[in-house]
Homo-oligomer: A and B are copies of this chain.
């Protein structure tokens, strides 16, 4: 199963017809080059789409050039999920890597797939709240650790992480824009995390030596939006 389907099927046990719908939707996927807009702020939000492969981010740019990533979109995440009839996008979404997206298979009300979408949406909100906490009350080292743990958690859901680590296509500069820091400071804090044996980051490969102890160190709590913890 493709990572996107793995993720959604882990949110709600999907039927084989759902899996098939996801697979056939993915066949009609479209490639978006890195740095291109997937959604533009203030424009029509368009149909709901599903990220099949690659990373994207919701971004906001201030008039004086300051930039901040509001959230990241990974394989299996939905773009433009919304109940409103003619919604305008409240943020631009750009491709961080080459991204392949497809139209999200339509889900009849209260179907398994619809539930998966709803849970995905709830998770997205939970991640936004965590991001607020990160920016508001964590110091630089905690922000980095907490952020990487979140990414690890999310990639694991899609089967895209191994026990020891995962691949991230982010530069230190994009980390800085996500965490409200400067690239220079991200660099220094990564070094200190390396020195303290919490992680390695070579090329695009991140290795978390002991996720549990890192979580304890930065005070991260697991995120749950349903009664059943994910398998």
Contacts and interface: CB of A to CB of B under 8 A. Distances in A.
Interface stretch (A24-32, A118-126, A201-209): A118-126
Given A122-B90, A129-B58, A84 B115 contact: yes
A58, A129, A132 interface centre (most CB from chain B within 10 Å): A132
A70, A125, A133 interface centre (most CB from chain B within 10 Å): A133
Given A121-B83, A125-B125, A219-B64, A224 B132 contact: no
Interface in A103-122: 110, 115, 118-119, 121-122
13 contacts: A42-B224, A60-B132, A62-B137, A82-B118, A82-B122, A84-B225, A85-B118, A87-B225, A88-B224, A88-B227, A90-B126, A91-B129, A128-B128
Nearest to A42: B224
Given A82-B122, A84-B118, A60 B224 contact: no
Interface residues of A, number: 43
A129 to B, nearest CB: 5
A88 B137 contact: no
Contacts of A128: 125, 128-129, 132
5 closest A-B pairs by beta carbon, nearest first, are A136-B180, A135-B135, A90-B126, A84-B118, A68-B136
Given A70-B129, A85-B115, A128-B129, A90 B135 contact: no
Nearest to A224: B88
Interface of A: 42, 58, 60, 62-64, 66-68, 70, 82-88, 90-91, 110, 115, 118-119, 121-122, 125-126, 128-129, 131-133, 135-137, 179-180, 219, 223-227
A63 B224 CA distance: 17
B129 A60 contact: yes
